[in-house]
A and B are shown apart, each in its own frame.
Chain A
Amino acid sequence: MKNKKISEWSKLDNAAKIFPANSKKSDTKVFRFACELFDTVDPQVLQQALDITLEAFPLYQSVIKSGLFWHYFEKSRFKAVVAEETLPPCSTLYDKNNKTLLFRVMYYRKRISFEAYHALADGSGALQFLRTLIFHYITIKYKYALRDKSPVLDIEASKTQKQDDSFQKYYKDEKDFYRKKRIKAYKIKGAKIPEYRIRIIEGVIPVDEILPKAKEYKTSLTIFLAAILMCAINEEIPARLKRKPVVLNIPVNLRNYYSSQTARNFFGVINVDYDFSKGNDELTEVIEVLKKKFKENLTPDVMARRINKLASLEHNYILRVIPLIIKNLILKTAYAIADKSYSSTLSNVGVINMPDDIKPFIYSFDVFVSTDKIQACVNSFENTLRISFTSAFASTEIQRRFFKTLTDMGITVTIESNIIDDELEVL
């Protein structure tokens, strides 16, 4: 009790600032990374692994508090405890009236799930945490099997590098009047699932079946999947609403453009659109257009411009001294405007790697994120590619069409999903 140490604190990074103002029950801004093992999870070992992991990620030991002008992270004395999964996926982690840590670790049968609040980290930041956690879990649990080996995790970033605010670091004070025309995207509508639950439908696909298909269309996996998703959405649009283009929002990991190793947020987004009312709805056609749009958007120049644009707002003295209550309203409006510009999101986390000695214990990884619409996350581990749809809608037509396109190409798809309602047909 007589701890005389003064709590450490730090600012939220540039991208994180938007989240506290825009987290709500319908979209908690929580994402999940899960790892499915071949054995049932041992909670005690998981707790040990978590304790070790937390030492390497000091920022995770914080809560978000609100100051007069900004939100900030404050080091907290809460202890992170692993728990059996009893909460709906991506349940609230940030509630301004109920302070908790900004992540949770849960287990269910063979799965270890790690959920994080987006202000704390982005996908690759959180993946660093999960990989470290799984690494420690397996090295402790299977000490005997691994006794002749000494696996090393390939994360070399120091504690400071992990806590780095890369937006600040790579920000250049350049006045830039570049403005892109806003496109109003087609918005998917439909009845929602009660209680803000999300439906998870995941397709597990062998990498060696889907990659050659993407190659056949002479494109990357992300573009291939984005095009299929856009076509699946298009087929759901009533004819009278076809005027608006389908726009996909694609998060981009900025660590690929800068030499950052931060475990916090460092991502940008690009929007790619396709106007089905003008263009042809053939997959090849959509892929060709997307290829061009990706190429235009994914250049270091465009990325730098995005960082500068966002960060310049934060460096504006007048904006800085606006009280948080008003700032929250501004951030809500900004988010609402940005939200109108895309129909859905596709996030490719990419290939997840683990040390060779650890790999045999892992079946696959899984990534998905909270949403009040429909959104897809993709990752691959060894020969398993997993496309995870989260959706707030009761209808599953878009997912069905998406996977149907893949199976029609002769690709094997295995579906995993959550049972959210008391569906009668369940045994």
Chain B
Amino acid sequence: MRFCNNCNVSVVGKRKSCPLCQERLTGDKPQEEVFPQISFVYREYSSFFKVMLLVSIITATVSVAVNILLPESGAWSFLILGGLGSVWASLITLINQRKNIPKNIVYQVMTISVTALIWDFLTGWRGWSINYVIPSVCVFAMISMAIISKIRKLYIEDYILYIIIDALFGIVPIIFVVFGLLDVLYPSIICISTSIISLSTIIIFEDKRLIAEIKRRLHV
């Protein structure tokens, strides 16, 4: 065992200096370390994000600057800022939820729907968000959740809540239909029917699990 004359302690391991006072240790016979030596991990993906972030900021700044210098061309830089904002919003949810795929899908449905609504509203409401985007995103989410749960052999407890949320959300277009807000009907009709069918399937076959899940999630 090695010894520190300064601190008056024996030191276990291969160190050459004292962990307390950093003085050189005396004595030979290095021993095995008690703890494994674990080096720092320098995260690799962070530089990729830094570059992405810088590119976004440059694009935003340059377009706003050019737009200010050329005011007669219209307020097009807002579109670019909005676009960048939407991409980042979607990307951040995607990364935060990357380990829980069903939850990720639900979050993506919400983010995409909300951004589409905002875009549609700000660009003179042509109705494409409720005509096409929201219904197709919902259907796509339901189908992908069904496929992913089979491929990844997920247990029903892990995704039942998310498939229910998505199916309930998928019924919302009924309001658009009833109030006659739609110009194109077929995406919404497909979405509503798929949602009703998946909701019923779960309620009929997984009623006990569903009730148990609701009890757990809502306990006070």
Chain A residues closer than 8 Å to B103, beta-carbon distance = 97
Contact with B along A278-291 (1 / 0, CB 8 A): 00000000000000
B30 interface hit (Cβ, 8 Å)? yes
Which of A236-244, A344-352, A407-415 contacts the other chain?
A: A407-415
Whether A427 contacts B16 by the Cβ 8 Å rule is yes
B28-40 Cβ-contact flags toward A at 8 Å (1 or 0): 0010111111111
Shortest distance between the CB of B31 and any CB in chain A (Å): 10
For the residues of B in contact with A, the DSSP-based class is loop
Q: How far is the CA of A68 from the CA of B215 in the complex (A)?
A: 10
Does A67 lie at the interface of the complex (its beta carbon under 8 Å from any beta carbon of B)? yes
Are B35 and A418 in contact, with the CB atoms below 8 A?
Answer: yes
Query: Which residues on A sit within 8 Å (CB–CB) of B212?
Result: 6-7
Closest to A200 in B: B35
- Among A1, A6, A99, chain B packs the most CB atoms within 10 A around the CB of A6
| Contact, CB under 8 Å: B7 / A404 | yes
**Binary interface profile of B, 80-104, with partner A (CB < 8 Å = 1, else 0)?**
0000000000000000111110010
Q: Name B58-100 residues within 8 Å CB distance of A.
A: 96-100
Q: How far is the CA of A6 from the CA of B206 in the complex (A)?
A: 10
Q: Is A171 an interface residue (CB 8 A)?
A: no
Q: How far is the CA of A403 from the CA of B209 in the complex (A)?
A: 57
Q: Does B217 contact A (CB under 8 A)?
A: yes
Segment touching B, from A81-89, A144-152, A209-217, A221-229: A81-89
Residues of B within 8 Å of A, CB-based: how many?
45
Distance, CA A7 to CA B18, complexed state (A): 52
| Alpha-carbon distance A422/B15, docked complex (angstroms) | 11
Q: Which residue of A lies closest to B43 (CB)?
A: A195
Minimum C-beta distance from A96 to chain B (A): 9
Docked Cα-Cα span, A399 to B1, in Å, equals: 20
Classify chain A's interface size: 35 or more
CB closest residue in chain A, given B2: A415
Chain A residue nearest in CB terms to B157: A7
| B residues 39-59 in Cβ contact with A at 8 Å | 39-41
Interface mask (B1-32 → A, CB under 8 Å = 1, otherwise 0): 10010011111111111111100000000101
Please name all residues of chain B whose beta carbon is closer than 8 Å to the beta carbon of A194 when the two chains form the complex: 40
Bound together, the chains give a CA A77 to CA B155 distance in angstroms of: 9
Task: Report if B152 contacts A (CB, 8 A).
Answer: no
A418 to B11, CA, bound (A): 11
Q: Taking A67-B216, A67-B218 as contacts, is the C-beta distance between A414 and B19 under 8 angstroms? A: no
Give A396 to B99 CA distance when docked, in angstroms.
Answer: 37
List residues of chain B with CB within 8 A of the CB of A276: none
**Contact with A195, one of B32, B40, B99, B218 (Cβ below 8 angstroms):** B40
Contact of A403 among B20, B40, B219 (CB under 8 A): B20
CB contact under 8 A between A99 and B100, given known A1-B153, A111-B34, A417-B19: yes
Interface: A298 (CB within 8 A): no
**A418 to B220 Cα, complex, angstroms:** 44
In the complex, whether B126 has a CB less than 8 A from a CB of chain A is no
Contact, CB under 8 Å: A400 / B20: yes
Residues of chain A within 8 A (CB-CB) of B16 are 425-427
In Å, the complex CA distance between A88 and B30 comes to 23
A89 to B40, CA, bound (A): 13
Instruction: Enumerate chain B interface residues (CB-CB to A < 8 A).
Output: 1, 4, 7-21, 30, 32-41, 96-100, 103, 153, 155, 157, 208-209, 212, 216-220
11 extra A-B contacts, CB within 8 A, seeds A85-B36, A95-B99: A11-B219, A69-B220, A70-B220, A99-B99, A109-B34, A320-B220, A399-B20, A415-B10, A415-B11, A419-B15, A419-B35
The 9 closest A-B pairs by CB, nearest first: A418-B35, A425-B16, A98-B99, A407-B8, A400-B20, A67-B217, A417-B19, A414-B10, A413-B9
Can you list 21 pairs linking A and B with CB atoms under 8 Å apart? A6-B209, A7-B157, A67-B217, A67-B219, A69-B218, A69-B219, A86-B36, A109-B32, A320-B220, A399-B20, A407-B9, A415-B10, A415-B12, A415-B20, A417-B35, A418-B34, A418-B35, A422-B40, A423-B15, A426-B16, A426-B37
